[in-house]
Protein backbone atom coordinates (compact mmCIF):
# COMPACT_ATOMS: atom_id res chain seq x y z
CA UNK A 1 0.00 0.00 0.00
CA UNK A 2 1.40 3.41 -1.00
CA UNK A 3 2.11 5.88 1.76
CA UNK A 4 0.57 9.26 0.67
CA UNK A 5 3.00 11.11 2.96
CA UNK A 6 6.15 9.62 1.42
CA UNK A 7 7.98 12.01 -0.93
CA UNK A 8 9.91 10.93 -4.00
CA UNK A 9 13.49 12.05 -4.76
CA UNK A 10 13.64 14.14 -7.95
CA UNK A 11 16.57 15.68 -9.81
CA UNK A 12 16.83 19.44 -10.33
CA UNK A 13 17.19 19.99 -14.09
CA UNK A 14 17.50 23.77 -14.23
CA UNK A 15 17.42 26.85 -12.01
CA UNK A 16 16.46 30.31 -13.28
CA UNK A 17 16.62 33.56 -11.34
CA UNK A 18 13.38 35.52 -11.74
CA UNK A 19 14.01 38.32 -9.22
CA UNK A 20 16.29 38.92 -6.24
CA UNK A 21 13.91 36.84 -4.11
CA UNK A 22 12.25 34.41 -6.54
CA UNK A 23 13.79 31.57 -8.51
CA UNK A 24 12.22 28.95 -10.79
CA UNK A 25 13.36 25.35 -10.30
CA UNK A 26 12.74 22.81 -13.07
CA UNK A 27 12.49 19.35 -11.52
CA UNK A 28 12.44 15.91 -13.15
CA UNK A 29 9.24 14.04 -12.27
CA UNK A 30 6.70 11.71 -13.86
CA UNK A 31 3.84 13.17 -11.82
CA UNK A 32 1.03 14.54 -14.01
CA UNK A 33 -0.80 17.52 -12.47
CA UNK A 34 -3.80 19.62 -13.44
CA UNK A 35 -3.45 23.36 -13.88
CA UNK A 36 -3.54 25.08 -10.48
CA UNK A 37 -2.55 22.12 -8.31
CA UNK A 38 0.39 22.19 -5.92
CA UNK A 39 3.14 19.88 -4.72
CA UNK A 40 4.86 19.47 -1.38
CA UNK A 41 8.60 20.10 -1.76
CA UNK A 42 10.84 18.86 1.02
CA UNK A 43 14.40 18.43 2.20
CA UNK A 44 15.11 15.68 4.76
CA UNK A 45 15.75 16.96 8.30
CA UNK A 46 14.72 20.50 7.23
CA UNK A 47 11.00 20.35 6.40
CA UNK A 48 8.58 20.76 3.53
CA UNK A 49 6.60 23.55 1.90
CA UNK A 50 3.55 23.65 -0.43
CA UNK A 51 4.51 25.19 -3.78
CA UNK A 52 2.28 25.90 -6.78
CA UNK A 53 3.21 24.26 -10.08
CA UNK A 54 4.08 27.14 -12.40
CA UNK A 55 4.57 25.01 -15.54
CA UNK A 56 4.84 21.36 -16.49
CA UNK A 57 5.52 19.07 -19.39
CA UNK A 58 6.53 15.53 -20.23
CA UNK A 59 8.73 14.43 -17.32
CA UNK A 60 9.22 17.82 -15.63
CA UNK A 61 7.63 20.53 -13.50
CA UNK A 62 8.53 24.14 -12.75
CA UNK A 63 8.23 25.63 -9.27
CA UNK A 64 8.62 29.37 -8.82
CA UNK A 65 9.71 29.83 -5.24
CA UNK A 66 10.09 32.89 -3.02
CA UNK A 67 12.52 32.78 -0.10
CA UNK A 68 10.25 33.05 2.95
CA UNK A 69 11.60 30.58 5.51
CA UNK A 70 14.03 27.82 6.39
CA UNK A 71 12.75 25.31 3.81
CA UNK A 72 12.79 27.72 0.87
CA UNK A 73 16.12 29.16 2.02
CA UNK A 74 17.58 25.65 1.97
CA UNK A 75 16.08 24.96 -1.47
CA UNK A 76 17.85 28.08 -2.73
CA UNK A 77 21.16 26.48 -1.75
CA UNK A 78 20.53 23.61 -4.18
CA UNK A 79 22.26 23.34 -7.54
CA UNK A 80 21.43 21.69 -10.86
CA UNK A 81 21.82 17.94 -10.43
CA UNK A 82 20.92 18.03 -6.73
CA UNK A 83 17.84 16.30 -5.35
CA UNK A 84 14.53 17.72 -4.14
CA UNK A 85 11.83 15.53 -2.62
CA UNK A 86 8.29 15.85 -3.99
CA UNK A 87 4.90 14.47 -3.08
CA UNK A 88 1.65 15.25 -4.83
CA UNK A 89 0.06 16.72 -6.87
CA UNK A 90 -2.64 17.90 -4.46
CA UNK A 91 -5.79 19.95 -4.43
CA UNK A 92 -8.46 20.93 -6.91
CA UNK A 93 -6.99 23.01 -9.73
CA UNK A 94 -8.57 25.24 -12.34
CA UNK A 95 -11.59 23.65 -14.08
CA UNK A 96 -10.04 24.30 -17.46
CA UNK A 97 -11.69 21.58 -19.54
CA UNK A 98 -15.10 21.95 -17.91
CA UNK A 99 -15.46 25.70 -17.44
CA UNK A 100 -12.71 27.63 -19.25
CA UNK A 101 -11.89 25.96 -22.56
CA UNK A 102 -13.29 27.75 -25.60
CA UNK A 103 -14.37 30.86 -23.69
CA UNK A 104 -13.08 34.39 -23.33
CA UNK A 105 -10.76 34.31 -20.33
CA UNK A 106 -9.81 37.28 -18.18
CA UNK A 107 -6.85 36.85 -15.83
CA UNK A 108 -6.07 39.36 -13.07
CA UNK A 109 -2.93 38.50 -11.12
CA UNK A 110 -0.71 40.21 -8.60
CA UNK A 111 3.01 39.48 -8.16
CA UNK A 112 3.84 35.79 -7.85
CA UNK A 113 0.11 35.12 -8.23
CA UNK A 114 1.12 34.75 -11.87
CA UNK A 115 2.75 31.40 -11.07
CA UNK A 116 -0.44 29.35 -10.43
CA UNK A 117 -1.93 30.46 -13.80
CA UNK A 118 1.27 30.34 -15.88
CA UNK A 119 0.73 26.79 -17.17
CA UNK A 120 -2.82 27.68 -18.20
CA UNK A 121 -1.64 30.83 -20.00
CA UNK A 122 0.99 28.77 -21.80
CA UNK A 123 -1.66 26.30 -22.93
CA UNK A 124 -3.85 29.10 -24.28
CA UNK A 125 -0.86 30.64 -26.06
CA UNK A 126 0.38 27.40 -27.62
CA UNK A 127 -2.94 25.77 -28.48
CA UNK A 128 -5.36 28.66 -29.10
CA UNK A 129 -7.93 26.93 -26.90
CA UNK A 130 -9.71 30.10 -25.75
CA UNK A 131 -11.74 32.60 -27.77
CA UNK A 132 -9.63 35.38 -26.31
CA UNK A 133 -7.33 35.97 -23.36
CA UNK A 134 -7.03 39.21 -21.40
CA UNK A 135 -4.19 39.39 -18.90
CA UNK A 136 -3.96 42.07 -16.20
CA UNK A 137 -0.68 41.56 -14.35
CA UNK A 138 0.44 43.85 -11.55
CA UNK A 139 3.69 44.00 -9.62
CA UNK A 140 4.88 46.15 -6.74
CA UNK A 141 7.93 47.43 -8.62
CA UNK A 142 10.25 46.62 -11.52
CA UNK A 143 12.45 44.42 -9.32
CA UNK A 144 9.46 42.19 -8.56
CA UNK A 145 8.53 41.28 -12.15
CA UNK A 146 8.59 37.51 -12.75
CA UNK A 147 8.52 35.63 -16.09
CA UNK A 148 9.67 38.73 -18.01
CA UNK A 149 10.32 36.88 -21.27
CA UNK A 150 6.91 35.24 -21.27
CA UNK A 151 5.12 38.46 -20.38
CA UNK A 152 6.57 39.91 -23.59
CA UNK A 153 5.72 36.77 -25.55
CA UNK A 154 2.11 36.72 -24.36
CA UNK A 155 1.60 40.22 -25.79
CA UNK A 156 1.67 38.61 -29.24
CA UNK A 157 -1.69 36.86 -28.74
CA UNK A 158 -3.27 38.23 -25.56
CA UNK A 159 -4.84 41.53 -24.63
CA UNK A 160 -2.48 42.71 -21.91
CA UNK A 161 -2.40 45.34 -19.17
CA UNK A 162 0.92 45.24 -17.32
CA UNK A 163 1.21 47.62 -14.39
CA UNK A 164 3.50 48.57 -11.51
CA UNK A 165 2.10 50.01 -8.30
CA UNK A 166 4.09 53.25 -8.52
CA UNK A 167 7.24 52.80 -10.63
CA UNK A 168 7.34 54.23 -14.14
CA UNK A 169 9.13 52.23 -16.84
CA UNK A 170 8.75 52.15 -20.62
CA UNK A 171 5.70 50.32 -22.01
CA UNK A 172 4.23 49.65 -18.55
CA UNK A 173 1.23 51.18 -16.83
CA UNK A 174 1.21 52.63 -13.33
CA UNK A 175 -1.42 51.72 -10.74
CA UNK A 176 -3.10 48.76 -9.09
CA UNK A 177 -4.71 45.80 -10.86
CA UNK A 178 -8.15 46.98 -9.73
CA UNK A 179 -7.77 50.16 -11.83
CA UNK A 180 -7.54 48.14 -15.05
CA UNK A 181 -10.51 45.83 -14.53
CA UNK A 182 -12.96 48.48 -15.86
CA UNK A 183 -10.88 48.69 -19.06
CA UNK A 184 -11.97 45.16 -19.98
CA UNK A 185 -14.98 45.18 -22.32
CA UNK A 186 -16.93 42.42 -20.57
CA UNK A 187 -20.11 43.24 -22.53
CA UNK A 188 -18.39 42.25 -25.78
CA UNK A 189 -18.10 38.66 -24.52
CA UNK A 190 -21.90 38.14 -24.55
CA UNK A 191 -21.68 36.25 -21.27
CA UNK A 192 -19.29 33.67 -22.67
CA UNK A 193 -16.35 34.29 -20.34
CA UNK A 194 -14.73 33.46 -17.00
CA UNK A 195 -12.49 35.59 -14.77
CA UNK A 196 -9.51 34.19 -12.85
CA UNK A 197 -7.98 36.20 -9.97
CA UNK A 198 -4.82 35.26 -8.06
CA UNK A 199 -2.74 37.28 -5.63
CA UNK A 200 -2.62 38.36 -1.99
CA UNK A 201 -5.98 38.04 -0.15
CA UNK A 202 -6.69 41.79 -0.16
CA UNK A 203 -5.86 42.06 -3.86
CA UNK A 204 -8.24 39.19 -4.74
CA UNK A 205 -11.04 40.69 -2.62
CA UNK A 206 -10.85 44.17 -4.13
CA UNK A 207 -10.30 42.90 -7.67
CA UNK A 208 -13.39 40.69 -7.38
CA UNK A 209 -15.35 43.69 -6.09
CA UNK A 210 -14.12 45.78 -9.03
CA UNK A 211 -15.21 43.04 -11.44
CA UNK A 212 -18.68 42.78 -9.90
CA UNK A 213 -19.06 46.56 -10.21
CA UNK A 214 -18.44 46.03 -13.93
CA UNK A 215 -21.32 43.55 -14.02
CA UNK A 216 -19.36 40.32 -13.74
CA UNK A 217 -21.57 37.71 -12.02
CA UNK A 218 -20.07 36.20 -8.88
CA UNK A 219 -20.29 32.70 -10.37
CA UNK A 220 -17.94 33.72 -13.22
CA UNK A 221 -15.13 34.64 -10.82
CA UNK A 222 -12.50 32.10 -9.72
CA UNK A 223 -9.70 32.52 -7.18
CA UNK A 224 -6.84 30.49 -5.74
CA UNK A 225 -6.17 30.60 -2.01
CA UNK A 226 -2.45 30.55 -1.38
CA UNK A 227 -2.93 29.77 2.28
CA UNK A 228 -0.12 27.87 4.03
CA UNK A 229 -0.85 24.16 4.08
CA UNK A 230 0.85 21.44 6.04
CA UNK A 231 -0.10 17.81 5.45
CA UNK A 232 -1.89 18.49 2.10
CA UNK A 233 -4.28 15.55 2.64
CA UNK A 234 -6.80 17.02 5.08
CA UNK A 235 -5.55 15.34 8.25
CA UNK A 236 -3.81 18.06 10.27
CA UNK A 237 -6.44 20.80 10.03
CA UNK A 238 -3.84 23.51 9.56
CA UNK A 239 -5.53 24.94 6.45
CA UNK A 240 -9.10 24.67 7.70
CA UNK A 241 -11.36 27.71 7.27
CA UNK A 242 -14.72 27.07 8.95
CA UNK A 243 -15.67 23.67 7.51
CA UNK A 244 -13.51 23.98 4.40
CA UNK A 245 -10.11 22.32 4.04
CA UNK A 246 -8.17 24.41 1.53
CA UNK A 247 -5.80 21.55 0.62
CA UNK A 248 -8.72 19.26 -0.31
CA UNK A 249 -11.54 21.60 -1.39
CA UNK A 250 -9.19 24.13 -3.00
CA UNK A 251 -6.88 25.83 -3.52
CA UNK A 252 -9.11 26.91 -6.43
CA UNK A 253 -12.58 28.12 -5.49
CA UNK A 254 -15.44 29.70 -7.33
CA UNK A 255 -16.13 33.06 -5.76
CA UNK A 256 -19.62 31.98 -4.74
CA UNK A 257 -17.78 29.98 -2.06
CA UNK A 258 -14.60 32.03 -1.67
CA UNK A 259 -16.38 35.29 -0.82
CA UNK A 260 -17.50 33.78 2.49
CA UNK A 261 -14.13 32.24 3.40
CA UNK A 262 -12.38 34.62 5.78
CA UNK A 263 -8.69 33.73 5.80
Residue 82 confidence (pLDDT): 97
Question: H-helix or E-strand containing 30?
Answer: none
d(CA 100, CA 8): 32
CA-based diameter of the chain, in Å?
A: 57
How many Å apart are CA 193 and CA 39, to the nearest integer?
29
Q: Which pLDDT score is estimated for 242?
A: 82
Q: Is the pLDDT of residue 1 over 60?
A: no
Between CA 37 and CA 86, with CA 114 as vertex, the angle to 5 degrees is 35
Choose among 216, 204, 35, 51: nearest CA to 136: 204
Residue 247 has pLDDT above 60, yes or no: yes
**CB–CB of 241/261 below 8 Å?**
yes
Cα 48 to Cα 16, 29, 91, 169, 227, distances in angstroms:
21, 17, 16, 37, 15
Q: Rounded mean pLDDT of 7-20?
A: 95
Q: What is the pLDDT of residue 233?
A: 81
- Rounded Cα distance between 134 and 211, Å, is 13
pLDDT of residue 216: 98
- Identify the band that residue 263 occupies on the pLDDT scale cut at 50, 70 and 90: low
pLDDT tens track for 128-139? 999 999 999 999
Number of H helices, E strands in the chain: 6, 16
Strands (E), 76-202: 83-90, 104-110, 132-139, 159-164, 173-174, 193-198
Q: b or e along 42-76 (b: 16 or more beta carbons within 10 Å of the residue's beta carbon)?
A: bbeeeebbbbbbbbbeeebbbbbbbeeeebbebbe
Is the model's pLDDT at 258 over the cut of 80?
yes
User: 243 preceded by cis ω (within 30°)?
Assistant: no
Residue 16 has pLDDT above 60, yes or no: yes
Mean pLDDT across the stretch 99-105? 97
Cα separation of 229 and 71, whole Å?
14
Predicted confidence at residue 244, as pLDDT, reads 85
Average pLDDT over the chain reads 93
Residue 227, pLDDT above cutoff 70: no
Amino acid sequence: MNNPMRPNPCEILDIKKETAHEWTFKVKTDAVPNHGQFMQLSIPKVGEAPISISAYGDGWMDFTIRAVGKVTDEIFNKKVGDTLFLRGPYGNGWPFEKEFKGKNLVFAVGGTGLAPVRSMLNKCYNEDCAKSVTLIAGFKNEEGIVFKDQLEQWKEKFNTFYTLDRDKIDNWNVGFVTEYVPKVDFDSFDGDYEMIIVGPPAMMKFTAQAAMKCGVPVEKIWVSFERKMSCAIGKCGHCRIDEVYVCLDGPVFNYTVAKDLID
